[in-house]
Structures are given as C-alpha cells and as structure tokens.
Amino acid sequence: MLRERLISPLRYPGSKAGLTGYVEKFLRDHGLRGAQMVEPFAGSAALSLNLLARDVVSSVMLFERDPLVFSFWHSVFFETERLIELVKKFPPTLETRREFEWLRDMDSVHADIALMGYAGLLFNRTSFSGVLHAGPIGGTSQASAYKVDCRYNAADLARRIGEIAEYRDRIEVYFGDAQAALVDACGVNNEARFFYVDPPYYVQGPKLYRYSYGFAEHHSLASVLAQANYKWFLSYDDHPVIRHFYRDYFIYEPVLRYSSKVPKSEAEVFITNVSPDGALLKVEGAEQASMGVGIGEAGMLA
C-alpha cells in the first residue's frame, strides 16, 4: 500500500523523519531507488519506514542493540495483535512504569518479546523527551502541567502500529550490534542494497541513548565503514572530530530539527561514500592509519 507518510509510534531523540525528502532525492539522483535499505541503528526507523511507504525502497532490514527498541519493532511486525492488546490494556501511569521497570533493567531480550516491546513503548511515550532511561514526564510528584500520560494516546498508538504492520512482508528485524552487522555485510553481495547509518550523536549521545558511543566507538565505526564494499550514507551531529574521521568522503550539510529538547536544533552532516555519479568511493586504510585505532571486536549478532 502506497502512503505519503507513516508516523513512528516512538518519540525518538533525533528521529530522521524530516530527512525523508532529502534522502529520496539522493537515492533518485544516484540510481538507488528500489534497493533494499539496511539500517543498523534502527531507533525510531522513521526514515526507512517512510521511504518504504513511498515505495522508494523495496524492503528494509533493521538492526537494533537496545533490547527494548528491538522488542518493540519485532512485536510491531510479528506480534502485532498482542502488542496492540497490551497497549490498550495497561494505563500509562507511574504505577505501570514501576510494574515494568524490571524489563528496562535487562540487557538482553526477554523470552516474552511482546511484553518487552510494550515496555519499550511505555517508557518511550511516558519519559522526558522519549529518552528511555529518563524519568517520567511531570516528575515523580506529577506537579507539572504535563502529566506522565500526556504523550500516550492508546487508540492513536494502536492505529499507527496497525498501519506500519501492513509492511511486515517487506521488513526484517534483528537484535544485534550495528558494527558487527556492518562487518558481516562485507562478506555478502550488496549490489542491490544501501546502508543508512545513524549512530548515536557524538556530543549528546550519552544523554539521549542507553547504548551510546564514546570516542573509541565512533572511531571504530569510521574504520568499519572505511573497509565497506557497499554504498553507505550516515548522519551525524556536526563536529570537528566527525569531519576529521570522514574527511575523505562526500559531506553534505542539511539542517534538521531534532525531536528531543536536548538540544532543540543543531546542524547535522550527511556523509556518504557514493560519488555524485553513483560510483562507490573506496578509501584505502582511511582511519586506522590516521588515528592509530583499529576496528577491534565488534561482537556477534544474536
């Protein structure tokens, strides 16, 4: 079904829904329409879902390391009815948050994926700015004009989940480390794919994400992409370190508005190894030599 827009149920810090038109034009200009889109940092999946809804891409492959976010997306596509049932069953209250706190403390995927997926949605929609590890909207005293349930409309969330689930036959969802997925991808044929890489922000990442990156992880990602045999583009907050890591690639400067209040708006860079004529730019030994940090062990997909 062709739709103009899909709205992600997740209030994700740095959601890239606003990048849809920009990326659609990029794909058209570089002969990549109709390819499979691989998103190793799934997050809100807003960009890939909207490109899929517009039939700009043929299918989407999502990877996500946060077990709450992975479980949510898995449940949207493969346990849709139960997820919707849970959304409607539990009220978005402080008591419900306390009831499911144990799932937020887990570092792996619970056997009941739909229950964990619901917990992911609950904490996303009832926490400050959608930050999963943040406190409740309105605080524990609920003295604010904005209460814990002000961003939670069960009927609307159920509708969004149902609309997105219609694309289940064109979606794959995996729990695992993004850099491991990017390394593994070098061993297969990626001619009909492109990779959209949206890592945690360099500056604000630790405040916004439960699985953020430090300097070494950001540099490791640059090293992994330097070895890629596939076409990729990534979005980052504009910072001199990031510009240095990717100085040999093509850097563009769209300006986006973040969905989080931290910060409200900031310049962002769009970086790619795809040349203006659509060819893949290969830079030999780009980052290992310049910074002296190796790729390291990326880990295994679960």
- Dihedral angle computed from the Cα positions of residues 81, 85, 88 and 94, in that order, rounded to the nearest 10 degrees: -120
User: Above 50 in pLDDT, residue 217?
Assistant: yes
Over residues 242-258, the pLDDT tens digits come to 999 999 999 998 765 54
pLDDT at 264: 45
Determine the pLDDT at residue 279. 92
106 within 8 A of 67, measured Cβ to Cβ: yes
**Coil, strand or helix: which one is 204?**
coil
pLDDT, greater one: 295 or 115: 115
What backbone torsions phi and psi does residue 39 show, to the nearest 5 degrees? -120, 100
* Cβ atoms 65, 73 nearer than 8 A: no
Phi-psi region of 186 (alpha: psi -120 to 50; beta: other; left: phi over 0): alpha
Region 18-41 average pLDDT: 94
> Alpha-carbon distance 78 to 72, whole Å?
10
Q: How confident is the model at residue 282 (pLDDT cuts 50, 70, 90)?
A: confident
pLDDT (tens digit per residue) in 75-125: 999 999 999 999 999 999 999 999 999 999 999 999 999 999 999 999 999
∠ CA 22-27-30, nearest 5°, is 120
Residue 94 and residue 123 in contact, taking contact as beta carbons nearer than 8 Å: no
Q: Which DSSP category does 40 fall into?
A: S
Structure tokens at 84: 């919707």
Instruction: Please tell me the predicted confidence (pLDDT) of residue 286.
Output: 53
Beta bridge partners of 257: 265
pLDDT tens across 46-74, in order?
999 999 999 999 999 999 999 999 999 99
Using H for helix, E for strand and C for coil, what is the string for 133-165? CCCECCCCCCCCCCCCCCCCCHHHHHHHHHHHH
* Cα(66)–Cα(82) distance, integer angstroms: 21
Given this model, what pLDDT does residue 16 score?
Answer: 79
The position carrying tokens 């100085």 is 247
Alpha-carbon span 120 to 68, nearest angstrom: 5
Cβ neighbours of residue 160 under 8 Å, at least 6 residues apart?
6, 7, 8, 9
The C-alpha atoms of residue 147 and residue 75 are separated, in whole angstroms, by: 27
Q: What is the mean pLDDT of the chain?
A: 89
Query: In this structure, which amino acid lies at residue 63?
Result: F
Query: What is the C-alpha to C-alpha distance for residues 43 and 46, in angstroms, rounded to an integer?
Result: 8
